[in-house]
Amino acid sequence: MEPRISPAQGWSRGRRSWWYHASFYTQTWRGSAASTILFPFLYLTSLGVGVGHLVQRHTGLVQGQTYLHYIAPSLLATTAMTMGESESLWPVLASVKWLKTYHAAVATPLSPVDVLVGKLSWVTTKTFATSVIYTVAISLFGATRSWWALTLPFIGALVALAFSAPLVAYAAGAESDASFTTIYRFAFIPMFLFSATFFPIASYPRVLRPLVQLFPLYHGVALARAAAFGQGSLPAISVHLAVLVAMVLVGLWWGRRTMTRRLVD
Amino acid sequence: MALAYQATRGCRALWLDSAVPEKNNSSLARTKGTPTSVPPILEAHQLTKRFGDFDAVKGIDLSIDRGESFGFLGPNGAGKTSTMRMISAVSRPSSGTLRIFGLDPTTSGPEIRARLGVVPQEDTLELELSVRKNLEMFARYFDLPRRVARERASELLAFAQLSEREHDKVDNLSGGMKRRLTIARALINRPDLLILDEPTTGLDPQARHLLWERLYRLKRDGVTLIITTHYMDEAEQLCDRLVVMDHGTIVAEGAPRALIERHSTREVLELRFSVDDHAQFDNLFSDVAERVEVLPDRILLYVDHGDAALQKVHDLGLTPTSALVRRSSLEDVFLRLTGRTLVE
């Protein structure tokens, strides 16, 4: 039901939806904010320092880094993925089906696309802010070696958006949350564990390596690691970026369809 | 609230304020056909909504004037909600023309929606947030400055009798309170047209009467109301004019009283006999009443004078176990037009 609009109108309405999502968060953040700040330190301490101590004793350095430094950037990327995912499945189904608050939103000057843009830009903002905290945390542990580390918050935001966009699209078209747990168990948990997150791709059997490279998170982790250490080849980085950007674009295209069908058709 | 509401409505641009006499004017309760220079607030010709092969709305014509309270009655599946979604400038008509405030919703959706208030069938509130936050955050969708949002929220909380509960979580409110909050939320942008889809379904009588009183107040303040309802008493209370929809078409249109006069008799005589099946009385009363309806548990005689008809029944040598004379209601019209078959 939307005519072509000017960029200024689109910006104004997307901003209103962003603001709505942001103020919803500020009204309900208390439980989650403390854990957002604490988690990086807890993870780095238990995995980086604890498990790292064992790794150090048995294998020494991992790709020229201590184990703590090796996993620090991947924790940033996996946290971004988890945040993108947790904001996108159940909350979106609640908004389109259970509480129908998105239906209320499209009864105002906003269109389904404005709601989608507001939602995704809020997820991006939130993971950017969290990634800033992560970047500071891993820097305090000495895990950043390059000025490129300043791009880590952007990488975190991109990773979150790359997961959030298709998942929002999927949830907006879903009839129930039955499939969500399956997605979580069979897509996210394996991806979390096997995206060269906790051990290098070289330690996987040769036949499995291409499979690992199919995981989108693998590209997020590789990108974060390249930024933290200031290492990486341009072609490799381009591929990682292209995969994540492609997921965002597919998610936007798909989300526009499912949100429109769900809310206004 | 009423005063504040009117004061700021004055700033509305476009043709409405310049052309319309002030509110609280009896001429606002116009019926269709009254000559007027003011264009209707809503106009539809051959409005159709199709979902695949299914025609939910089959080419209806509507014209609703400013200040009017207009009702949509109809059984489930009659096409009421599809119509409401189109006239809320949310869902796109499959064919036909629709003008709201003189604008085409396919090209001016956001402008139209900025001037509408919509109360959907379900409350669609943020249950986790406070009563006040629900209003203030919704105000931002209309780009109202924060200060204005706060002021209007206070006014509307008083209007909805929720000021005492403003800091409570919505989840903890009763059904009636949630409904009033949803209506208050729909008023946050001071709409010219308020669209209510089954506003009192599921509420207890006290809550319904309070809501009616609030809606009546809005009507008095000059807000145009469009209401769907299953409750005939609600339609009679609130609507100046209404349409009955069935199977996607409009089957009757008019003021509640006029519809009763046109489609029913002045009175109805309800008879019960101590038999298992009243079907045996079929054809017996054709001389007594204009129309006879034999139901499993009772017989309805549509007549102009119930007491005289009852006398005739006694004259036939019949003695019903109970006999009730009542005035014809909108419900009689509704059931006559849409049938007694259960729609599910």
Sheet holding B322-327, edge to edge: B291-294, B299-303, B267-272, B322-327
Residue of A108, A110, A263, A265 to mutate, interface with B, max B Cβ within 10 Å: A108
CA terminus-to-terminus distance, chain A: 9
Interface A-B, measured as beta-carbon pairs within 8 A, has a size of 89
Nearest chain A residue to B51 by CA distance is A265
Q: pLDDT value at position B17?
A: 34
Query: Is residue A176 exposed (0-12), middle (13-18) or buried (19+ Cβ within 10 Å)?
Result: exposed
Q: Which of A23-37, A236-250, B56-70, B189-203 has the lowest mean pLDDT?
A: A23-37
Q: Quick check: is A114 in a domain?
A: yes
Q: pLDDT value at position B5?
A: 43
Residues of chain A with Cβ-Cβ distance to B135 below 8 Å are none
Asked if A109 lies within 8 A of B91 by C-beta distance, the reply is no
Tens-digit pLDDT profile for residues A182-211: 998 999 999 988 898 888 888 889 999 999
Rounded distance between C-alpha atoms, residue B224 and residue B195, angstroms: 8
* Top-confidence residue, B275 or B197: B197
Asked if B129 lies within 8 A of A105 by C-beta distance, the reply is no
Number of H helices, E strands in chain A: 13, 0
Residues of chain A with Cβ-Cβ distance to B141 below 8 Å are 16-17, 20, 105, 108-110
Q: Shortest CB distance from A12 goes to which of B89, B116, B143?
A: B143
Rounded distance between C-alpha atoms, residue B256 and residue B238, angstroms: 10
Q: Quick check: is A8 in a domain?
A: no
Per-residue pLDDT at B150 exceeds 80: yes
Asked if B140 lies within 8 A of A19 by C-beta distance, the reply is yes
Mean pLDDT throughout A214-235?
Answer: 94
Tens-digit pLDDT profile for residues B230-265: 888 889 889 999 999 999 999 999 999 899 888 889
Q: pLDDT value at position A4?
A: 64
Mean pLDDT throughout A166-192?
Answer: 93
Asked if A265 lies within 8 A of B143 by C-beta distance, the reply is no
Per-residue pLDDT at B88 exceeds 90: yes
- Answer whether B190's CB lies under 8 Å from B5's CB: yes
Tens-digit pLDDT profile for residues B308-331: 999 988 988 888 899 999 998 888
Q: Shortest CB distance from B133 goes to which of A3, A17, A27?
A: A27
Q: Shortest CB distance from A99 goes to which of B91, B124, B143?
A: B124
CA terminus-to-terminus distance, chain B: 41
* Top-confidence residue, B27 or B151: B151
Beta strands in chain A (DSSP E): none
Asked if B126 lies within 8 A of A12 by C-beta distance, the reply is no
Domain ranges of chain B: 265-327
Residue of A101, A102, A117 to mutate, interface with B, max B Cβ within 10 Å: A101
Q: Quick check: is A59 in a domain?
A: no
Residues of chain B with Cβ-Cβ distance to A20 below 8 Å are 137, 140-141
Residues of chain B with Cβ-Cβ distance to A96 below 8 Å are none
Nearest chain A residue to B182 by CA distance is A104
pLDDT band at A253 (very low <50, low <70, confident <90, very high): very high
Asked if A99 lies within 8 A of B125 by C-beta distance, the reply is yes
Residues of chain A with Cβ-Cβ distance to B92 below 8 Å are 1, 264-265
Per-residue pLDDT at B338 exceeds 70: yes
Q: Any chain A CB within 8 A of the CB of B130?
A: yes
Least Cα separation, residue B138 to chain A (angstroms)? 8
- For chain A, give the number of residues: 265
Strand partners, B97: B45
Q: Any chain B CB within 8 A of the CB of A23?
A: yes
Residues of chain A with Cβ-Cβ distance to B114 below 8 Å are 108-109
Tokens at B205, concatenated: 């009588």
- Answer whether A223's CB lies under 8 Å from A236's CB: no
- Chain B residues 28-47 with a CB less than 8 Å from chain A: none
The one-letter amino acid code at A91 reads P
Tens-digit pLDDT profile for residues B104-142: 999 999 999 999 999 999 999 999 999 999 999 999 999
Q: How many domains does chain A have?
A: 1
Q: Shortest CB distance from B106 goes to which of A1, A5, A106?
A: A1
What are the backbone angles phi and psi of residue B201, rounded to the nearest 5°?
A: -60, 130
Rounded distance between C-alpha atoms, residue B88 and residue B191, angstroms: 12
Asked if A104 lies within 8 A of B90 by C-beta distance, the reply is no
Mean of the per-residue pLDDT values of chain A: 91
Tokens at A117, concatenated: 């843009």
Rounded distance between C-alpha atoms, residue A209 and residue A199, angstroms: 12
Domain range holding A146?
Answer: 69-263
pTM of the predicted model, to two decimals?
A: 0.86
Mean pLDDT throughout B85-108?
Answer: 95
Q: Shortest CB distance from A104 goes to which of B106, B114, B124?
A: B124
Q: pLDDT value at position A111?
A: 94
Rounded distance between C-alpha atoms, residue A142 and residue A159, angstroms: 23
Q: Quick check: is A179 in a domain?
A: yes
Fold category of B265-327 in CATH:
Alpha-Beta Plaits (3.30.70)
Tens-digit pLDDT profile for residues A46-94: 888 888 888 888 888 888 888 999 999 999 999 999 999 989 999 999 9
Q: Any chain A CB within 8 A of the CB of B133?
A: yes
Tokens at A187, concatenated: 């897509």
- Chain A residues 36-95 with a CB less than 8 Å from chain B: none
Closest CA to A84 of A226, A183, A186, A225: A183
pLDDT band at B15 (very low <50, low <70, confident <90, very high): very low
Query: Is residue B89 exposed (0-12), middle (13-18) or buried (19+ Cβ within 10 Å)?
Result: buried
Q: Any chain A CB within 8 A of the CB of B90?
A: yes
Q: Any chain B CB within 8 A of the CB of A32?
A: no
Q: Quick check: is A207 in a domain?
A: yes
Which residues make Cβ contacts (< 8 Å) with residue B245, sequence separation at least 6?
A: B60, B72, B73, B74, B78, B79, B80, B83, B251
In chain A, the percentage of residues whose pLDDT exceeds 90 is: 65
In chain B, the percentage of residues whose pLDDT exceeds 90 is: 57
Mean pLDDT throughout B199-226?
Answer: 89
Q: pLDDT value at position B237?
A: 84
Q: Any chain A CB within 8 A of the CB of B103?
A: no
Q: Any chain B CB within 8 A of the CB of A104?
A: yes
